[in-house]
Amino acid sequence: MSDTILPTSAFDVAEVRARLQQVGELGADEDVTVRLLAGGRSNLTFEVSSPNRSWVLRRPPAGELLETAHDMGREVAVQSALANSGIPVPRIVYSSSDAPHAGGSYYLMDKVDGTVLRTDADFESVPFSQREALSHQYIDSLAALHTQDVEAVGLASFGRPEGFLERQVRRWTKQLSSSQSRELPELDRLSAALAGSVPAAAKPSVIHGDFRFDNMIVQLEPHPSIAAILDWEMSTLGDPLTDLGLVHLFWEGWKGIDNPIAGTPTSHAGYPPFSALAQRYSSTTGTDLSNQVWYNAFAFFKMAVILEGIHTRFLNGETVGDGFDNIGAMVAPLTERGLAALTA
């Protein structure tokens, strides 16, 4: 294989090429090239290309994995279930749950054309006249996901919504203890505060778990739309307001923090504030948002735990790509904002 831009241990390119041929996606005489895609600071994401078309391959990161994280089977299951639901997800081409050459599992999906809005420069590049409409598409896509009939799409057993919030706090606290590289007493304090103030859960739905523009393909012409929602590794059946709490974090909650992960829309004129998105979401879904501050605080906690895990893998030399060296510095300010949200 030629022009392969990836660690030699990332996966067996010849094996992947054979599987594409097996399922009729690649001709017998066609070769493939591979490149590491931007982003993917958790799972590893690659573009696999033939002379005529491209696919995207996802596999777990190198090194020790957090329990319940990096679940390729989960991504395959939810994307397959939502394929005909109106939620924009790429078609699954091939998946394997027994792939020692690819971190244990991997899958291939169609590559969807469009734009990923990842950085502040990306958000600034969106024409001013399109920013509000794009924002509405974003929050409306979340509302559409949360109002799916889980029985109809075959996801009624996709998770255990009973006791979901309590388990989430325990699970992320456990993952913190298994992946941290330093003492983090304020993050421990935030964990305890969340555990001691869990609200009554909203009606359960399919949730994404990482709903931000960095995990989407958008198209701006002829009008703004969400072409594909990606990165379903944290999806499950649970409390939808945990997704909305993450929307708050990504939309404005981490504004002002030195952030190599993703831009913040409300740092730019023309993007409506989170309060406007939350009101639109509530009107569409009929969901009571009176306890939203708890979910916002939980989002700060969850992101801090995730970033601490990535920081530890960076220190151990187990990451691929740029932008990891500053991620550990985000943990403390995210923790502070989570504590502040609970006491506001």
- Averaged in consecutive runs of 10 residues, what is the pLDDT profile of the chain (344 residues)? 48 88 91 76 82 91 51 89 94 85 84 94 96 98 97 93 96 91 92 97 94 94 94 93 98 93 95 98 97 98 92 80 80 96 87
The C-alpha atoms of residue 146 and residue 288 are separated, in whole angstroms, by: 14
pLDDT value of residue 39? 43
Which helix (H) or strand (E) is 104 found in, with range? Answer: strand 104-110
Token output for 211: 């709903």
Q: Taking the C-alpha atoms of 71, 61, 169 and 97 in order, what is their torsion angle to the nearest 10 degrees? A: 20
Q: Which of 259, 298, 64 minimizes the C-alpha distance to 179?
A: 64
The C-alpha atoms of residue 213 and residue 115 are separated, in whole angstroms, by: 10
pLDDT value of residue 103? 66
pLDDT value of residue 215? 92
Pairing of strands 33-36, 205-207: unpaired
> How far is Cα of residue 189 from the mean position of the Cα atoms in its chain?
26
Cα 176 to Cα 117, 310, 333, distances in angstroms: 29, 11, 16
pLDDT value of residue 287? 96
Q: 340 Cβ partners below 8 Å, 6+ apart?
A: none
- 3-class SS string, 265-302: HHHCCCCCCHHHHHHHHHHHHCCCCCCHHHHHHHHHHH
Q: In which order are the strands placed within the sheet that holds 44-49?
A: 33-36, 44-49, 54-59, 104-110, 92-99
Token output for 150: 């889980």
pLDDT value of residue 118? 92
Is residue 172 within 8 A of residue 198, CB to CB? The reply is no
pTM of the model: 0.87
H helix intervals, the chain: 13-22, 72-81, 120-125, 128-146, 164-179, 185-195, 241-248, 274-285, 292-315, 331-343
Domains present along the chain, CATH in parentheses: 13-110 (3.30.200.20), 120-343 (3.90.1200.10)
Token output for 38: 């931007």
pLDDT value of residue 70? 54
* Burial 70-81, CB ≥16 within 10 A → b, else e: bbbebbbbbbbb
Is residue 297 within 8 A of residue 266, CB to CB? The reply is no
pLDDT value of residue 8? 47
